[in-house]
Amino acid sequence: MRYYIADPHFFHAKLNEQMDRRGFADVEQMNAYMLRRWNEKVRDNDEVVILGDLSWGKPEETNELLARLKGRLYLIQGNHDRFLTDKKYDASRFGWIRPYEELKDNGRKVVLCHYPILFYNGQNRIDGSGEPIAYMLYGHVHDTLDQRLVEQFQEITQNSFRESGTGERKPIPSNLINCFCMYSDYTPLTLDEWIRCDRSRRQARQQADLAEGI
pTM of the predicted model, to two decimals? 0.93
pLDDT, tens digit (0-9, with 9 covering 90-100), for 141-175: 999 999 999 999 999 999 999 887 777 888 899 99
| Residues 35-91 pLDDT 10s | 999 999 999 999 999 999 999 999 899 999 999 999 999 999 999 888 888 888 888
Please check whether residue 114 lies inside any domain of the structure: no
Cα–Cα distance, 52 to 50 (Å, whole number): 6
CATH at 28: 3.60.21.10
| Residue 110 vs residues 113, 175, 198: alpha-carbon distances, Å | 10, 10, 15
Domain contains 116: no
Q: Does residue 79 fall inside a structural domain?
A: yes
107 found inside a domain = no
Residue 179 in any domain: the answer is yes
